[in-house]
A and B are shown apart, each in its own frame.
Chain A
């Protein structure tokens, strides 16, 4: 099992950041993917190389500010759980954490790399806002 975690401190109110990263249909606005479609608790994302992932939305907890999803129906992926947490650190600062647990473990690494870019984008969008 590969487990990776990336994080960013964002100088912005946790609720404000959560209202964005906690919206599953807005993933393409911050994560380096080309397309994102949500229907009920299902999401489909398209990567730049043309790969499409089908995902189940497992958790969307506005109280905890936690989003969890699983890549499903993929012959390569035996297990996946992605988690995004937004944790307040005072009124105008929060910690955004993106974690991935995955088998095959090696796939966790490029997802973590993409998460780093995504978190950078969230910082750019919300720092000081």
Chain B
């Protein structure tokens, strides 16, 4: 028997969401315990800060330029490499339960397998050669509408509770800007759904059911993928008492003074101010009719409170799944990797959601690898820069198979020394968006605790412009040092390193077939 792999992802979660990373609001004892016994990464970045490109990197071990999912709405090709396929070939039984999102969600033609198997109420398209290498898929997304399995389950069993969720789209099919809660914060709603019907609990229960269906001697890889704490923020009303929003401190990244806040934003690439003022929305997932400049401090508090309620529910759910695994006698051979696909502003800079903004709010991710206790790996905190691009090679390493040739990064390190040996010197992040004439292209490197973002030609930015942040002395990234002559040599060195290490973009860019 080999090591079992539980890969846990959340969606749109910040590094500081967790107690083990210094978070002080949500109580996350189960994740904290994984951190204490495992390797916690303090400088983990995604290769793109929205879902589809980032998740495509997780499964392929490739940068965005290579796998070609350059934006939400661009499907990962059916024949793209998948680490799940390699694990399956090595004898693992594989499952993906929860949010997949390698393919567009808005799919009225049912062109994509994720939606099709949901619509057909199947858990695989082909048992002999399953989609992306997963023997079993049971899928969900935010809310309970659409084609996926959770929505079907809600329609079959709790139809009356569906309307309790926030409606992600408005009647014009735009991302909804409607406010809710006590502060009228956008994409926030008090949801009367009982906690046991909420998607976090459903994902955990389906995971437990699948694990309990396996023979004791089977090796398995299970990707348990929670849709939360991604907006809309609509956790079960019964759980809101966990984090009363009036008692929540404003996040360190929220600049209360409006003129200071706007000065910080104006020091960045121009598309920041465009979005803040509501005149340049380059990411479909941000409500176009909402103007970030109008957000109040209380709205920031309430959004943070709802988010942390969702974080606590995720932690509870993980505890239940780990208990079930323990009951099967698998604990000593179990590797757990916990991460998310990208971050969330959550009020930083007076903003919510995400988009082409390469700062810690969106790029610094929680990432924990708790190796199987039987492997006797010493716990560690690693501050070397690593990326989600290393996940595929890590799964291969755990399974004892050769690192697939299609992967573009070594496995995650188990210590800072191991990071040096493996060559984890830098981590790269790309952004490309072309949304009905609004164009943003960014390329970013993080190395030696500096983050350097180069703009390419777009609607508001020109090649030659950018952002440069000193993470050691400016942890909130308030001071853009791109034009600071005293660090020009460093900036140019980082740029040379970026261009030398970023894979060439596979052209032509594939078509965007949906907004999300």
Query: B174 contacts A104, CB within 8 Å?
Result: yes
Chain A residues near B109 (CB, 8 Å)? 32-33, 47-49, 110, 113-114, 117
Chain A residues near B173 (CB, 8 Å)? 76, 104, 106-107
Shortest beta-carbon distance from B149 to chain A in Å: 15
Residue of B nearest to A49 (CB): B108
A13 at the interface (CB under 8 A from B): no
Chain A residues near B81 (CB, 8 Å)? none
Query: B513 contacts A32, CB within 8 Å?
Result: no
Query: A109 contacts B515, CB within 8 Å?
Result: yes
A2 at the interface (CB under 8 A from B): yes
Query: A110 contacts B104, CB within 8 Å?
Result: yes
> A2 with B436: in contact, given A109-B73, A109-B512 (CB under 8 Å)?
yes
A112 at the interface (CB under 8 A from B): yes
Chain A residues near B436 (CB, 8 Å)? 2-3, 105
0 or 1 for each of B103-119: is its CB under 8 Å from A? (1 = yes): 01011111100011001
Which residues B467-516 have CB closer than 8 A to chain A?
511-515
> A117 with B111: in contact, given A2-B436, A49-B147 (CB under 8 Å)?
yes
Interface of A is mostly: mixed
Chain A residues near B111 (CB, 8 Å)? 32, 48, 113-114, 117
A23 at the interface (CB under 8 A from B): no
Residue of A nearest to B106 (CB): A110
Query: A106 contacts B108, CB within 8 Å?
Result: no
Interface of B is mostly: loop
Chain A residues near B284 (CB, 8 Å)? 106
Chain A residues near B513 (CB, 8 Å)? 109-110, 112-113, 116
Which residues A78-102 have CB closer than 8 A to chain B?
78
Chain B residues near A64 (CB, 8 Å)? none
Size bracket, chain B contacts:
20 to 34
Shortest beta-carbon distance from B61 to chain A in Å: 26
Shortest beta-carbon distance from B125 to chain A in Å: 14
The one of A48, A78, A106, A109 in contact with B110, judged by C-beta atoms closer than 8 angstroms, is A48
Shortest beta-carbon distance from B81 to chain A in Å: 22
> A116 with B107: in contact, given A76-B171, A106-B173 (CB under 8 Å)?
no
> A110 with B511: in contact, given A49-B147, A76-B171 (CB under 8 Å)?
no
Q: With the chains together, A116 CA to B514 CA distance in Å?
A: 12
A42 at the interface (CB under 8 A from B): no
Interface size on A, residues (CB 8 A): 22
Chain B residues near A107 (CB, 8 Å)? 173
Shortest beta-carbon distance from B38 to chain A in Å: 41
Residue of B nearest to A114 (CB): B109
Q: With the chains together, A104 CA to B175 CA distance in Å?
A: 11
A6 at the interface (CB under 8 A from B): yes
Query: A104 contacts B104, CB within 8 Å?
Result: no
Shortest beta-carbon distance from A93 to chain B in Å: 20
Q: With the chains together, A33 CA to B109 CA distance in Å?
A: 7
Q: With the chains together, A45 CA to B304 CA distance in Å?
A: 45
Which residues B83-125 have CB closer than 8 A to chain A?
104, 106-111, 115-116, 119
Chain A residues near B247 (CB, 8 Å)? none
B172 at the interface (CB under 8 A from A): yes
Chain B residues near A33 (CB, 8 Å)? 109
Query: B511 contacts A49, CB within 8 Å?
Result: no
Query: A109 contacts B171, CB within 8 Å?
Result: no
Shortest beta-carbon distance from A127 to chain B in Å: 20
Q: With the chains together, A80 CA to B300 CA distance in Å?
A: 39
Q: With the chains together, A61 CA to B120 CA distance in Å?
A: 40
Chain B residues near A110 (CB, 8 Å)? 104, 106-109, 513-514
Q: With the chains together, A33 CA to B119 CA distance in Å?
A: 15
> A116 with B515: in contact, given A32-B109, A110-B106, A110-B109 (CB under 8 Å)?
no
Query: A113 contacts B108, CB within 8 Å?
Result: no
Query: A49 contacts B110, CB within 8 Å?
Result: yes
Q: With the chains together, A59 CA to B284 CA distance in Å?
A: 33
Chain B residues near A32 (CB, 8 Å)? 109, 111
Chain B residues near A47 (CB, 8 Å)? 108-110
Residue of B nearest to A103 (CB): B172
Q: With the chains together, A47 CA to B111 CA distance in Å?
A: 10
0 or 1 for each of A40-78: is its CB under 8 Å from B? (1 = yes): 000000011101000000000000000000000000101
A-B contact pairs, 21 of them (CB 8 A): A2-B436, A6-B511, A32-B111, A33-B109, A48-B119, A49-B115, A76-B172, A104-B172, A104-B173, A104-B174, A106-B106, A106-B284, A109-B73, A109-B512, A109-B514, A109-B515, A110-B109, A112-B511, A113-B513, A114-B109, A114-B111
Binding site for B on A (CB under 8 A): 2-3, 6, 32-33, 47-49, 51, 76, 78, 104-107, 109-110, 112-114, 116-117
Contacts A76-B173, A110-B106, A110-B109 aside, 11 further interface pairs with beta carbons under 8 A come to A32-B109, A49-B108, A49-B109, A49-B110, A78-B172, A105-B436, A106-B106, A110-B107, A110-B514, A113-B514, A114-B111
List the 5 closest A-B pairs by CB distance, nearest first.
A113-B513, A48-B110, A104-B173, A106-B515, A114-B109
